[in-house]
Structure 1
Amino acid sequence: MSLDIALYQLRTFREVARLGSFTKAARSLGYAQSSVTSHIRSLESRVGMQLVHRLPHGVRLTHSGEIFQKYAQQIFHVVDEMATALNPSGETEGRVTVGASALLLESRIGPLIRDCRYRYPKVQVSPRQLAISRAQEAVRSGEVDLALVHGECALGEAPAAGIVVEQLPDLEVVPVASAALLESPLLPAALASLRVLAVDPDCESHQVLVAALRREHGVEPAVIEAGSLGGARELARAGYGIAMLPAESVGQSEESSGLVVVPGLPHLRLSVRALWAGAESTRSAVTAVCHVAARVGREKAALPA
């Protein structure tokens, strides 16, 4: 069987599979939703089988779609290798999809993208939020080219076969809350009414905070998922709870806006790792981005407290 498939159709399929939605894929690619629907319908016609289940809210890959996704990722890897081989200047180039845990996404990805644009102008970084526990699976399936995650949950007992792991500079997190909390004459009572705001559900930092509040103040706070670093910051500022935020993002600007580091509660240093699939050459786009991530981590760690 000969398949006449265009790369733009494969790219559309990849986004639909990644996002689980025609609407979200259209928004990501800058297409009309009708174009995305047409691309997938055309693919299914050429392959001769259904690739996605149309659900009331989104789509899900069929068994054939999962097989098709695996080979589509291989095709894109070959295309990237071809582009590198045809690059006469030897300048690093390519598109790298970077999945990052919520704490890293909002504290280090911005500087990472800026630094990459300066050092590797032909490398395009495409960021997205990634659950820590899904890091290895996302890399193995090709959902992301590079995963930047913190904590021990990223690896479990050991990295899976074929997954390259590089240790990056640690991330320090500190307990942050509304300044009004510390001004309360009844601090233990005030603490008892607060929630612990979890940015990353898989991160151990909020569990350590719960244990410290139980041990030091005799309270048993509820844990609420804040969804993002920005969400946790706003909820903490409003007096709704305490969040473990990156120390590198907590400075004078936070203090002036009503947030302070809570004394007497633990500060943690969380390990940060980069994960990607297979051996990469030293000039590959993935390795280049990883090197920039390490540089950004070192610069952040060197900032004055």
Structure 2
Amino acid sequence: MELYHLRTFLAVAEAGHLTRAAEALCISQPAVSAHVKALEAELGLDLFERTPRGMALTPAGAALLDEARQVFGAVDAFRRKAGGLRDELIGAVRIGLNTDAAFLRVAALQQCLRARHPRLEVEFLSGTTGANLPKLRQGRLDACFMSGPVDAAEFDSRLLCEEEMAIAAPLAWRERLGDTSVAALAQLPWIHNSPDRIQHQVMAQLFEALPALPRRAAMANQKDAVLALVAAETGLAVTRRKDIEEAAQRRPLFAIPLPLDAPAPTVSLRFAWLARRGEEAPVRAVVAAIEEVWALDGHESGATADER
């Protein structure tokens, strides 16, 4: 049995879909299918069944899920201990992303780590803030990017920047949007995000005084999809102001500041890890690289749970 078969099993079980698992693992969908089939053939068990929504665990697959997680936990512990016995840092570190790689400076982070620790294997895994924090608790990630508040009793973090949020609107609606009060905006169609996205949280805070969120014209999580839907006059959307202004150079849309008559949420972009793992060599190495890439002084720590 190969470890990458188990890694694929865990990715499909979590994503519930072959394509999303392939994106998280940065491999092709046929490779994911082949890994699953090889593991099922070796075990003599069906681990998944196909459904209209994707891939669902069979009872056998569900029974083996925790065992697979324990195997990876043991492997990681073995690698960390072995790395501590050598002068050179070796092993693997898994970093969860919560938005596009360019904004998070992933390429620069990878280059910095490669230069400092050439034998440290770095895995960047796509996700969201809402999904990344549970994975940190479970040991499935070593560190992650996240937006919004963080529980300083459980996590340490570095503040990277304050993300300025705004409302993306179709350019054709500019005259129609003379009134940008909360009440007026609530009458228009909106593009919603899933609840584990920081954009959903900002939108919920924006309309917290109303009995319900505005009408949902579409649901999208990917930045490009959201901005394309706005440009096509599907509805309004909350996203980073910088992304809106960059997209406006090639698409018919514009940015509306968050209304003055609503709470003005500020969104902190952070790099976080479990406080109890802060002294582990791979975590220290990644945090040091983050501090260099983001030009931090190394002294800023985690925020309180109610910091916004």
Say whether the fold is shared (TM-score over 0.5).
yes
Pick the structure with more helix per residue. 1
Aligned to 1:178: 170
SS of match in other structure, 2:66: helix
1:55 counterpart = 2:49: yes
1:236 counterpart = 2:230: yes
Aligned to 1:227: 221
Aligned to 2:301: none
Once the two structures are TM-superposed, the CA of residue 179 in structure 1 deviates from its matched residue by: 2.0
Once the two structures are TM-superposed, the CA of residue 81 in structure 1 deviates from its matched residue by: 1.9
The alignment's C-alpha RMSD in Å is 3.9
Q: Which amino acid aligns with 1:183?
A: E
1:252–1:129 distance in 2 versus 1, CA, 3 Å: closer
Aligned to 1:120: 113
Q: Specify which of 15, 18, 26 is matched with residue 8 of structure 2.
A: 15
For residues 85 and 259 of structure 2, the distance between their equivalents in structure 1, rounded to whole angstroms, comes to 55
1:108 counterpart = 2:103: yes
For residues 236 and 33 of structure 1, the distance between their equivalents in structure 2, rounded to whole angstroms, comes to 35
Instruction: Please tell me whether the aligned partners of residues 227 and 244 of structure 2 are also in contact (alpha carbons under 8 angstroms).
Output: no
For residues 53-132 of structure 1, the aligned pairs below 5 Å read 53-57=47-51, 58-60=55-57, 62=61, 64-81=63-80, 84-85=83-84, 88=87, 90=88, 92=89, 94-101=91-98, 104-105=99-100, 108-109=103-104, 111=105, 113-121=106-114, 122=118, 123-132=120-129
For residues 295 and 243 of structure 2, the distance between their equivalents in structure 1, rounded to whole angstroms, comes to 14
Q: How many residues align?
A: 269
Q: Which amino acid aligns with 2:214?
A: P
SS of match in other structure, 2:144: strand
Once the two structures are TM-superposed, the CA of residue 280 in structure 1 deviates from its matched residue by: 3.5
Once the two structures are TM-superposed, the CA of residue 185 in structure 1 deviates from its matched residue by: 7.8
Deviations 1:20-66 (A, max 9, x none): 26955678456473454223442x36xxxx6x743233242646413
Structure 1 portions without partners, runs of 5+: 1-5, 300-305
For residues 294 and 199 of structure 1, the distance between their equivalents in structure 2, rounded to whole angstroms, comes to 30
Structure 2 portions without partners, runs of 5+: 297-308
Q: Specify which of 245, 258, 265 is matched with residue 252 of structure 2.
A: 258
Instruction: Please tell me whether the aligned partners of residues 98 and 144 of structure 1 are also in contact (alpha carbons under 8 angstroms).
Output: yes
Q: Which amino acid aligns with 2:97?
A: A
For residues 185 and 168 of structure 1, the distance between their equivalents in structure 2, rounded to whole angstroms, comes to 35
Aligned to 2:304: none
1:197 counterpart = 2:196: no
Once the two structures are TM-superposed, the CA of residue 206 in structure 1 deviates from its matched residue by: 1.1
For residues 213 and 84 of structure 2, the distance between their equivalents in structure 1, rounded to whole angstroms, comes to 59
For residues 62 and 117 of structure 1, the distance between their equivalents in structure 2, rounded to whole angstroms, comes to 34
Q: Which amino acid aligns with 2:286?
A: V
Q: Percent identity?
A: 17
1:166 counterpart = 2:164: no
For residues 263 and 67 of structure 1, the distance between their equivalents in structure 2, rounded to whole angstroms, comes to 46
Once the two structures are TM-superposed, the CA of residue 133 in structure 1 deviates from its matched residue by: 3.3
Aligned to 2:279: 281
Q: Which amino acid aligns with 1:198?
A: H
1:260–1:292 distance in 2 versus 1, CA, 3 Å: farther
